[in-house]
Amino acid sequence: MYADITIKARCYDPAKTEAILLDQGADYVGLDVQTDTYYETDYGKLKYRQGTFENVLIHYNRRFSDNAYQTEVLLYLKNPGEETIAQICGGQKVLMQVNKLRKIYFIENVKFHLDYLEELGHFVEIEAIDLDGSLGTVMLQQQCNYYKELLQIEEDDLVTSAYTDLIQHS
């Protein structure tokens, strides 16, 4: 069963973070220009992401503990068609749109996002992913902690809010 653990933090020196990732042999996927549209839903979040690389419709719920998010994925559709989007999102109220530039890197099963949002500045996300349940959440948390230390992320820089919440309160 799919699982992931995610840590998000403010990033005051994205070039340094990027250099550390490349020094560790990270694979650079590219720069994704993303627009995330959030829709009203009774449970969790319903998000349609339109990006250069990632085009997904996802319904998920995140639980925060131990300075990280654990994601429960209810629906994940890659490259959904217009008809599918209309069927799922058509009657839902749009809550917010978030625009960001996202540099994407991978080291094995760990995905790194170097995000820039005009309203908020730079962030780094560490997302340890277990596609089939073979690693377990304990290992994912250990991976997040390891890369948090490697990237020299301070506790004070950790962010526990979603970008939508940060934008609403900025």
Please report the pLDDT score of residue 33 as a whole number: 98
Residue 46 CB: number of other CB atoms within 10 A? 21
Cα 140 to Cα 72: distance, rounded to the nearest angstrom: 14
Listed as ranges, residues in the chain with pLDDT below 70 are none
The reported pTM is: 0.92
Please report the pLDDT score of residue 3 as a whole number: 85
Question: Residue 126 is encoded by which pair of tokens?
Answer: 């560490």
Please report the pLDDT score of residue 142 as a whole number: 97
Question: Residue 31 is encoded by which pair of tokens?
Answer: 């720069």
Residue 29 CB: number of other CB atoms within 10 A? 15
DSSP assigned state of 26: P
Number of domains in the chain: 1
What is the SS3 assignment for 6-25? EEEEECCCHHHHHHHHHHCC
Q: Tell me the residue range of the domain where 127 lies.
A: 3-168
Please report the pLDDT score of residue 160 as a whole number: 92
Please report the pLDDT score of residue 156 as a whole number: 96
Block residue for tokens 């790194």:
112
Q: What is the mean pLDDT of the chain?
A: 94
The domain spanning residue 117 has which CATH number?
A: 2.40.320.10
